[in-house]
Amino acid sequence: MNMPRNGSLCVYIGLTLALFAGVALVPPGLVLGRSVWVDGRFTIAAYREVLAEGRQWSLLRNTLAIAGGTAFFATVLGVVAGYAVACAGRRMRRTLVCALAVPFLIPPYIATVAWVDLLGRRGYAAKLLELSYGDGASPPNLYAVSGVIFVFSLVYYPLVAFATFLALRGFDRRFEEAGLCVAGKGRVFRRITLPLVGPTILTGTLFVFMLALVSFSTPSLLQVNVYPAEIYSRFSAFNDFSGATAHAIPLVFCGVAALTAWGLYMRQSRPWLTGAHRPRNAAGRRSGHGAAALVFTWFLVAISTALPLGALIRRAMPARSFFEALRTAKEEITTTVILASAAATLVTALAFSMAYLERLRLLDSATRTGAGGLRGAQRGSGGALHRIFALSAVPFLISGPVLGIGLILTWNRPGLPALVYDTLLVVVLACVGRYLFFAHRGAGACLTALDPALEEAASVGGVGWRRRVTGIILPLLWPSLVAVWGLTFVLSVGELEATVLVCPPGQTPLSVRILTLMHYGPSRLVSALSLITVLLILAGAIVTLVIYGYARRRVHVRG
């Protein structure tokens, strides 16, 4: 099948590339350019100065310890929880999946506020310990690297849990059974089970690592120095633009290193991932381990959900605080819903377009080289397009404030229409820039799992690319795209770090409003607004789940 070359496809490709460049390439590029082009000449003095500072090691150590520690603990917790979900019966599985989603739906800065309330120096735990054991007793120090890892692990472990569940669900146990005929359990686990489920779990781990790597709010609230916090300090304490940008480079380097390692591992393991045709495992594989995992997971859900939400509710009482918060923040709530919906829609559309262009390119390449269709082509290089789209990680890795400055440099210039910068659209672009990487990976994975034979057959029958997209790809893929939409909606509601620099006058999202009010600590209003934010996210997640369920049923009926 040749990659179709006609006018409408050219427009489609042009629009996709232009939008991708506008959110993912130009803002980081302009920031980088401005940091090395100072007073009309090229200089890397800021980078030299930053690298020469002795505190780089402590920043790198803290940043990597938090990202690595969170990835490790979230993976340990997530694998157990994912295993428990896979072992659960159908009804309990549904409940457990919903319960596991809640910790991830609480934005990290809100979870941090709640945990400070619980485990802080004057928190509920401290008071309880003091009552029980006297003055000397105190809870472990939350204001440390370990505290940040603790909070992040309890927020992000559901990502690994869902990845584990998906891996176990798509895993054909007949491989294990065949292996056990000739080898011991340990060897079968190492040589068969782990290579089969590892890549999907590792993808969850990678997402957790990336999210923890660039997060500013939690380390900042817990007073731990990391690169994103240092970038803020450089901007704010020193007015040092170049220095701030230079501090984003180690983040990009760490992120790219993690992505490269993941890519190499995935390339090796790719044949195992093409198993969409394999039968799903039956639910309810009860065992002693499974029961223990279920008990542990419910305990984990209680710790990661009930405790922080309980602390917020306790702080927000009496109930009239909610009505007061609703009354004073009506505009912010509306702005947040509009903003997050628009961002999720745009990022999903762009991510799908990018993934589809890559697929077209792969099909084209496979046909030309005789590699045997899409599956054959996937084993080879993705080409220039794949490498360009891999840069979608950059706006996420350079951290929110640097991306915010990049968006200002890109869109706020004389001659450009005010349509973008003077409206919420610039905040939408900030969210798109930050979360495109995740959406692109998600859309790409969904498209990869789609059997190319359908499209190939349609193409042979003379069906054009637009009809193939609207008639075959989108109807089959839209449950997955709904899931991608839901994920980016959730992330966009909580987005803060770039938004705070670009939100237009008079249009404040809820996240920014909460931070504005946090000067006075976790007050009643802040807690009430935080709970409203969580409810908004939950509502978005429920809508997504309902549409997802409906879409899946429709696809099954068609299938």
Our CB check for other proteins shows the closer of 240 and 455 to be 240
424 binds other proteins (CB under 8 A): yes
What span, in angstroms and rounded, lies between the C-alpha atoms of 326 and 320? 10
Interacting residue with other proteins among 43, 141, 223, 268 (CB under 8 A): 223
Min CB(478)–other proteins separation in Å = 12
- CA 537 to CA 340: how far, in whole Å? 10
- The stretch near other proteins (CB under 8 A) out of 164-172, 176-184, 341-349, 388-396 is 341-349
Segment near other proteins (CB under 8 A); pick from 194-202, 204-212, 250-258, 409-417:
409-417
Query: Residues near 39 by Cβ (< 8 Å), separated by ≥ 6?
Result: none
Q: Is 237 exposed, middle or buried (0-12, 13-18, 19+ CB in 10 A)?
A: exposed
Write down the least CB distance from residue 533 to other proteins, Å: 15
CA distance 80 to 437: 27
- Bridge partners (DSSP) of residue 37 are 42
Query: Shortest approach of other proteins to residue 473 CB, angstroms?
Result: 18
With binding defined as CB under 8 A, does residue 498 bind other proteins? no
Q: Which of 503, 510, 534, 551 binds other proteins (CB under 8 A)?
A: 503
Q: Which is nearer to other proteins, 249 or 409 (CB)?
A: 409
Helix axes 241-273, 227-238, angle to 10 degrees: 160
Q: Which residue, among 499, 489, 491, 490, has the nearest Cα to 400 in the 3D structure?
A: 499
**CA atoms of 166 and 296, how far apart (whole Å):** 19
Cβ neighbours of residue 191 closer than 8 Å, sequence gap 6 or more: 179, 183
Minimum distance from CB of 505 to other proteins (Å)?
Answer: 4
How many residues appear in the chain?
559
**Which stretch, 13-21, 129-137, 164-172, 402-410, contacts other proteins (CB under 8 A)?**
402-410
Closest by Cα among 211, 255, 162, 213 to 445: 162
Which of residues 56, 138, 146, 233 is near other proteins by CB under 8 A?
233
**Per CB under 8 A, does 388 bind other proteins?**
no
CB of 470 to other proteins, least distance (A): 16
Residue 220 interacts with other proteins (CB under 8 A)? yes
- Cβ-based burial of 244 (10 A; exposed 0-12, middle 13-18, buried ≥19): buried
**Pick from 48, 55, 61, 387: which binds other proteins (CB under 8 A)?**
55
Q: Among 63, 193, 217, 530, which residue interacts with other proteins (rule: CB under 8 A)?
A: 217
| CB 322, CB 404: distance < 8 Å | no
Beta-bridge partners for 42: 37
Query: Any residues with CB less than 8 A from the CB of 375 and at least 6 apart, and which?
Result: 274, 452
Shortest Å, Cβ 15 to other proteins = 15
Using rule CB under 8 A, residue 518 touches other proteins: yes
516 binds other proteins (CB under 8 A): yes
The pattern of x and - marking residues 300 through 339 that bind other proteins according to CB under 8 A reads -------------------------------------xxx
Give whichever of 230 and 455 is closer to other proteins, judged by the CB atom: 230
User: Does the protein bind other proteins through residue 346 (CB under 8 A)?
Assistant: yes
CB of 537 to other proteins, least distance (A): 15
Work out whether 52 is an interface residue with other proteins (CB under 8 A): no
Least Cβ distance, residue 319 to other proteins (angstroms): 22
Kindly tell me which residue out of 23, 226, 496, 529 binds other proteins, with binding defined by CB under 8 A: 496
**Binding residue for other proteins (CB under 8 A) from 25, 77, 221, 551?**
221
- Residue 428 in contact with other proteins, rule: CB under 8 A: yes
Q: Which of 121, 289, 320, 467 binds other proteins (CB under 8 A)?
A: 121
Tokens of 341: 């919906």
Angle at 432 between CA 428 and CA 438, to 5 degrees: 150
Contact between 527 and other proteins per CB under 8 A: no
Q: Where are the alpha helices (DSSP H) in 370-473?
A: 373-378, 383-389, 394-397, 400-411, 418-421, 425-449, 452-460, 465-468
56 is a site residue for other proteins (CB under 8 A): no
Asked if 439 is part of the footprint of other proteins (rule: CB under 8 A), the reply reads: no
Instruction: Find the angle CA(141)-CA(147)-CA(153) to the nearest 5 degrees.
Output: 150
The answer to whether residue 136 forms part of the interface with other proteins (CB under 8 A) is no
d(CA 540, CA 550): 15
Q: What is the C-alpha radius of gyration for the chain, rounded to an integer number of angstroms?
A: 24
**Which listed residue (422, 453, 466, 554) binds other proteins by CB under 8 A?**
422
Decide: is 412 part of the binding site for other proteins (CB under 8 A).
yes
For residue 546, the minimal CB distance to other proteins (Å) is: 12
Q: Are 332 and 513 in contact (CB under 8 A)?
A: yes
Contact 159, 104 (CB under 8 A): yes
- Does 190 participate in binding other proteins (rule CB under 8 A)? no
Which structure tokens are listed for 441?
């990976």
Per CB under 8 A, residues contacting other proteins are 53, 55, 121-122, 216-217, 220-221, 223, 232-233, 235-241, 337-339, 341-342, 344-346, 348, 405, 408-409, 412-414, 418-419, 421-425, 428, 485, 496, 500-508, 512, 515-521, 543
